[in-house]
Amino acid sequence: MWGRLPLPTHWEVALSVLDPVTAAYTDLATTMTDDLGNYTFTGLSEGSFKVCEVVQPGWHQTYGPACYTFPLFAGQTAGGLKFRNALN
């Protein structure tokens, strides 16, 4: 018998910014994904950022790195930073 498991929605995604003086990432914000797995951070200024998914208990990540790092310049947007997961 084949069926679909109800997938958890509203996964937590964390955003950090790179401090150019200390070369360390500092937590900046968190958000939750919507029902389709989309997430958005707004109001960001230029800088180097890191986005990480908080994997829920009983699940493991199957796609994407643990975290994405990327620069962001004035007027620029970043997209395609996707995560996928499966039940343990």
Which pLDDT tens digit goes with each residue over 7-52? 567 899 999 999 999 999 999 999 999 888 889 999 999 999 999 9
Kindly list the distances between the CA atom of residue 52 and the CA atoms of 47, 55, 86, in Å, as whole numbers in the listed order. Answer: 16, 9, 17
Per-residue confidence band for 1, with pLDDT thresholds at 50, 70 and 90: very low
Whole-structure pTM value: 0.85
Domain residue spans of the chain: 12-87
Query: How far apart, in whole angstroms, are the C-alpha atoms of residue 41 and residue 61?
Result: 21
For residue 75, the model assigns a pLDDT of 87
- Beta strand 12-19 pairing with 24-32: antiparallel
Which pLDDT tens digit goes with each residue over 75-86? 899 999 999 888
